[in-house]
Amino acid sequence: MSMMKLDGYSAKIEYDAELDNFRGEILGLNGGADFYGSNPKQLRTEFRKSLQVFLQVCKEKGIEPNRCYSGKFNLRITPELHEQLAFAAEAKGMSINTLAQKALQKVVQ
């Protein structure tokens, strides 16, 4: 999987073997918006078209196009890992939450 960015929006790009084409899916929307292309230039053009159509439909229907994120999520882990994280965070003088934020930030950079 690859990512493509356009006008502040991100899309995941995957190869669709059935269609022998690349498929993009715009992320973080309050609905689905996808696009297809056989090369990066065509993908970018179709990304722009798909995004414009999605945003126009949202405007016409009075829908917020972007999904809202609260900044909270639950994570289930084993008690053993929880203990290890607590010890690691305490040793570094921080909370588990701060330790987790730092680790997660590394993943998305």
Q: Place 34 in a pLDDT band, splitting at 50, 70 and 90.
A: very high
Q: So where are the chain's domains? A: 2-61, 79-108
| Residue 27: both structure tokens together | 């992320």
Q: Structure pTM?
A: 0.78
Pick from 33, 32, 24: which is nearest to 5 by CA? 24
pLDDT by residue (tens digit) across 53-89?
A: 999 999 999 999 999 999 999 999 999 999 999 999 9
Q: Place 109 in a pLDDT band, splitting at 50, 70 and 90.
A: confident
